[in-house]
């Protein structure tokens, strides 16, 4: 979606609200496609002393498989977006990932900006919950459901100490 900003370019302190939805179902993360629903975005572009500042909130439901316990999960995510929009960059090597160039005719490409924000906010590992315990490497039991009956593996260098404890 292209957002025309010519209305607020010459008016300091003017605001242009927007609301859009992105289709990111083909976006791949770690071999899966967790975005099955539209990503909604709502925000504003504000002309602050000649600087165009985009502030928004993006949100959707993730449908994924946990990278630790391999259980499927669904989780609502919502992230704030703060970006600067500019017509040109003095030095492109100094621009950060939150600075975006306007297209011809003072248009902001919301799809590009919001997709970039979504990708940068995604965790590198998709977890069902932050404290996921994973699975037992021996029996494969999901440790979030309770402890397994496997005995802990003893480091062979400490096996002699284990023998001392058995004698007592």
Domain count, the chain: 2
* Domain around 6: 2-132
Span 53-72, pLDDT tens digits: 899 999 999 999 999 998 99
Tokens of 86: 């500019």
- Hey, which of 6-10, 130-134, 155-159 has the most confident mean pLDDT? 130-134
Residues 16 and 51 in one domain: yes
Residues 64 and 139 in one domain: no
- Say if CB 34 and CB 5 are below 8 A apart: no
**What strands lie across the sheet with 72-86, from one edge to the other?**
15-22, 39-48, 51-65, 72-86, 99-101
Residues 85 and 154 in one domain: no
The pLDDT, as a whole number, for residue 58 is 94
Please tell me the distance from the alpha carbon of residue 76 to that of residue 63, in angstroms, as a whole number.
9
Residues 165 and 105 in one domain: no
Residues 32 and 105 in one domain: yes
Residues 93 and 157 in one domain: no
Query: Given CA atoms 57, 113, 84, 122 in this order, what sign does their dihedral have?
Result: positive
- DSSP 8-state class, residue 51: E
Model confidence pTM above 0.85:
no
């Amino acid at each position: 979606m292209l957002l025309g900003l010519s209305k607020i370019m010459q008016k300091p302190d003017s605001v242009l609200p927007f609301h859009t939805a992105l289709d990111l179902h083909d976006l791949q993360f770690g071999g899966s496609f967790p975005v099955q629903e539209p990503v909604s975005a709502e925000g504003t572009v504000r002309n602050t002393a000649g600087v165009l500042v985009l502030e928004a909130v993006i949100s959707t439901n993730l449908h994924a498989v946990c990278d630790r316990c391999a259980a499927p999960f669904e989780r609502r995510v919502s992230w704030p977006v703060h970006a600067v929009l500019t017509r040109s960059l003095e030095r492109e090597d100094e621009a950060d990932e939150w600075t975006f160039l306007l297209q011809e005719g003072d248009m902001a490409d919301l799809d590009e900006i919001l997709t970039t924000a979504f990708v940068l906010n995604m965790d590198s590992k998709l977890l069902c919950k932050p404290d996921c315990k994973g699975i037992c490497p021996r029996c494969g039991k999901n440790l979030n459901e309770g402890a397994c009956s496997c005995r802990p593996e003893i480091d062979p260098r400490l096996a002699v100490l284990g023998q001392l404890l058995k004698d007592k």
